[in-house]
Structure 1
Amino acid sequence: GLGYEDLYQEGCVWLCNAALTFDPARGSFASYARRVVQNGLIGYCRNVLSEYQRTVLLGDLEPAVLTALEVQNAISSHTKCETPLLLVAAESQYSGVTRKGINALALQVSGIPLTAVAVRMSVPPNHVSAWISRAIRKLRNNESFLSSLHEN
């Protein structure tokens, strides 16, 4: 997602920004512009990578997760979906073990292995598996969540 043309255009925007905000009393334009363009490009790259990390190809998800959510045949594996964001939105509707399971599922969908999720949550992996199983059961019956998946 970081093509040369995009970076070049973004750099030009930041160079224009540097020209508009430059104060000759504070130093040379070259050093000021270099800093402004560099910081602008770093921020742009962070935003692009952050967006990329929130977007998950459904084809990259584990088949068990897709099957459990009953979307395997309904959605193309090339469809992009902001699944972690949908899970966070769904998480607010639940409490207790289901909420923990949705949280763990969001971490797992983002690419974190089950064992790492268990370490992060300070519990054995079988607890995390049970939480995820319960969360999937609840999400399977949540019409608004399923329709959000189908829309994306």
Structure 2
Amino acid sequence: MKKIGSMETGHDEREGAKEAFEVIFKAYQPLLRHLVHRISYLGEWEEAMSIASIALYDAYLRFDPKKGSFGAFAKRYVRGRLLHYVGKEKKYRERQQWTGKSREEDGEGRKIENLVQENPIPAAELSLDIKKALHSLTEKERRCIVAIYVEGLPLARVAEREGVSHATVSTWKMRGLSKLKKELFPRHDF
């Protein structure tokens, strides 16, 4: 930074960095379009291009020339960001399809599971149907569902208590919920 009187300014440095990025941005447009075309199958092309452009800028800021070429780093970085975006969108669309609600209708954008964990169901209030449906689950699935939805424990705590990984508890939860839905709502396709 340069000092002018008693004020410091990085204006010249920022302008130089901005111009350098503009050159890189123009040069990497074909790569961004290629990655968006290959990865973003959800039809959100403009949004995916925006995410790719921002990811390229982040890659530009984080790049360390000691660790390799910028091209390879930028490609991996942008690809990773796009895959993350596609995964999040896919999960959202599946959840939206299941609940029939959009992000706005979900209230504050929180998952239904989170709302239940914040307000666990007292065991005494479980209906006879739910109690009967719980017996259709395996012991592990039943312990998992009760811990999460009745006791209000987070997945990480259940995993710690059961002595298994977070992913295992998540699998038990999803299988248990699927079985409960089929047991409680036999005429619906889930």
> What is the TM-score of this pair, normalised by structure 2?
0.38
> What is the TM-score of this pair, normalised by structure 1?
0.46
**Larger radius of gyration, structure 1 or 2?**
2
